[in-house]
Amino acid sequence: MSRSYVVTGGGRGVGRSLVERLLGEADSVVAIELDPAALAWADSHPAGRRVIAVVGDAADEDVAEQAADLAQAAGPLAGWVNNAAVFRDSSIHSASTREVLDLIALHPEPAVAGCATAAATSSGRPTRPIGCSRRISSSIRAAAVGSCWPRNAS
């Protein structure tokens, strides 16, 4: 039986590579991406309907639920990859404290939304949220992702 996955930030770079890797021979992957142009490749992908594009903010619970529903329709949800990240250079020397804190807050929001949605979608089956967050501290990542990662899953 084929499985499904969700990859946030799945339109380009590391996210797209993860989509390609998870597709395998029969699995389906929902790619969430904020920028619609970053998902243009999905329509002509050789995997056809197994690549499912969702345009939206991965931190938005409605977008996460839409992605989960589409994944579940394609096959049992086997994993959720929290790859989405927003990068803007800033410095505590040139930006206000609020601006720096707002930039930091952007990173765990999609991971928390994804973990919560994956946990709610799993219906008792183990679903493995996978954290791939870049440029955020390990303590934030542990709080956002580690708390919902199944400790005994293989």
For the chain, the domains span 4-148
pLDDT tens digits in sequence order for the chain, 154 residues long: 799 999 999 999 989 999 999 998 899 999 999 999 999 999 999 999 999 999 999 989 999 999 999 999 999 988 888 888 776 666 777 888 888 888 777 777 777 777 777 777 755 555 555 444 443 334 333 333 333 333 333 3
- In terms of CATH, what superfamily is 4-148? NAD(P)-binding Rossmann-like Domain (3.40.50.720)
* DSSP classification of residue 70: H
Pairing label, strands 4-8, 51-55: unpaired
pTM for this model (two decimals): 0.73
Backbone dihedral angles phi then psi of residue 124, each to the nearest 5 degrees: 90, -15
Contact criterion met (CB below 8 Å) for 10 and 83: yes
Burial call 85-116: b when 16+ CB within 10 Å, e when fewer: beeeeeeeeeeeeeeeeeeeeebbbbbbbbbe
CA distance 128 to 21: 16
Rg (CA), the chain: 15
Contact criterion met (CB below 8 Å) for 17 and 81: no
Give per-residue pLDDT as tens, 57-88.
Answer: 998 999 999 999 999 999 998 888 888 877 66
